[in-house]
Structure 1
């Protein structure tokens, strides 16, 4: 009889441990997804909190803009030579080897959103890498006019910082920027579409004297005003005094490599939204195997 009780007790312990492994937060959490392949319900809870964090009235706010920015900087340093390493791995927030990635000059200003993402990952028991991407996707869809980005969950965190030189420089030439994005697998249309994320951005450190100026006159909305205003500036037109145009954007708007694609988005919200979503859906999978992940698009609402 004692032996039977002992066997039963051991079985209950094993079952409890298995259940804990399946649901409890841990470094391996992203791999231990729901066995039926459905999105873990925690992401619906995350989205509900992001709804309150990212909106001010009916406009997306600075924190939402920072979340989009963070996704580009965590995922976008990757290129095709890295295959299933690097990319969207949370290193923007966690990377300390061989240097602290967040401390690099190109990541200046992302400290606050990085801290918020880390706190949310801890609170909800997710990987930081997944939280970076999900927060960015949530911010995009919450900005009025923003498309829904197909978002998968199942990334592992890494403390290995992304290789330097993988992110665009706002003072670089159009040809260098085109080549940089080509190494990531992006076409001219992809690059032109991704630039449209500046529709909701503001700058603080490119020119501190003009800190907080936006890259178009409607930074709270996801629209194609950016394309019209940037092209107008690049071709000698008038510029809204509250708008700051990046030198790289101005160059690309009229470049041989990207100019026609860039100009093709002027006044064409639907074309841009579709092109952006297509390119972004590939970016947020950089360094990861989609077949080992679960679709959490439903959690974005």
Structure 2
């Protein structure tokens, strides 16, 4: 009759003997569960001050881009790269020569010396840096930060990064090989809300042409604007390599440039990837694309989950240190919902989702259409490779 109370007292004694480690307050006031994360609070501040200059601009986009390109060199089914391990820096002499990685060399040129100076591995520099960068972007979700990745031991092979001129089925197969569904791919492409082109079109006049009209906000505008009918090219496109026209909707035709992966865009100065446009009408992705276009909160949540999965490719989360407390909460979205740019309206939508019509309730911004300016390279202490 007294066994149960005795056992209960014994268990209570064990619990009392093994208390939860006390939280640590870092020098900047950040409260962390593990004191080692105070080091990463300092790395966070250095990223913000020295790499991003405390704004959501070109270098944030570049960190998010290399985070994808580095991690996706991974396979569930064959021997490829090690995932989010920094191989794109560690083995840059190999991977930066791949066609799909055109334009990434400039972020490597200052991210590598930054990581060496701070004393962190390249895999952590890429993934932690992307989480810090996104925290500066209005509307972005807060990304958990896991650190402790060892240095890469091998380069990822060529062909692991999808190209914008690839057929959707080829892209889906590559992503599935890395463990992602077509819907998860669309969720990852929310990163294009802060993206601009480098390496797709070789013309200097098109360098930095953004993918939507709000390139410094992590918003659903890119999903809406990619659904608009294309009417022009931002430069002198479509350049060489024109393929046969492909009908995307009953009443519209979009022309593809096979070599550059570029298709016509709806706004002057805006750049559109062929792959993005195809996803808006493909039966496996059109409805997920439209869902992101219609809900800022849904888009951000979807990206948060997919990007977290990407950042852990090749690693067991249990073997890494969770320093998510040091990542600050991003500013709120500047718009709660996407809007039609000046001069555009519902009739300009190329409907892709077969099960749900695009609503007629979105507003159109006032004013007249004006060219969207290119995103400029940021001048930071670590500089850019001289060519």
TM-score calculated relative to the size of structure 2? 0.64
Determine which of 34, 37, 42 is the counterpart of 1:40: 37
- Counterpart Cα distance in 1 of 2:98 and 2:182: 28
Determine which of 147, 150, 153 is the counterpart of 1:156: 150
Q: CA RMSD in A?
A: 2.2
| Alpha-carbon displacement from aligned partner over 1:276-297 (angstroms, at most 9, x marks no partner) | 1101101100111211111011
1:152-301 to 2 correspondences below 5 Å:
152-209=146-203, 210-233=206-229, 236=252, 239-301=266-328
- Counterpart Cα distance in 2 of 1:184 and 1:127: 23
Point out the more displaced range, 157-166 or 146-155.
157-166
Point out the more displaced range, 135-144 or 223-232.
135-144
* 1:68 and 2:71 aligned: no
Larger Rg: 2
- 1:51, distance to aligned residue in structure 2 (A): 1.8
- Counterpart Cα distance in 2 of 1:220 and 1:82: 38
Match of 1:49 in 2: 46
8 Å CA contact 1:53, 1:63 repeated in 2:
no
Determine which of 69, 74, 87 is the counterpart of 2:83: 87
- Counterpart Cα distance in 2 of 1:187 and 1:114: 29
Match of 2:6 in 1: none
* Structure 1 stretches lacking a partner, 5+ long: 1-35
- Counterpart Cα distance in 2 of 1:222 and 1:146: 5
* 1:77 and 2:73 aligned: yes
8 Å CA contact 2:44, 2:327 repeated in 1:
yes
User: Higher helix proportion, which one?
Assistant: 1
Q: Which has the higher contact order (CA 8 A, sep 6+)?
A: 1
| Alpha-carbon displacement from aligned partner over 1:190-233 (angstroms, at most 9, x marks no partner) | 11111111111111211123222111111111000000000113
- Counterpart Cα distance in 2 of 1:73 and 1:51: 22
* Structure 2 stretches lacking a partner, 5+ long: 1-32, 231-248, 255-264, 329-387
- 1:272, distance to aligned residue in structure 2 (A): 0.8
Question: 1:225 and 1:137, CA in 2 relative to 1: closer, same or farther beyond 3 A?
Answer: same
Point out the more displaced range, 242-251 or 176-185.
176-185
8 Å CA contact 1:196, 1:224 repeated in 2:
yes
Point out the more displaced range, 99-108 or 157-166.
99-108
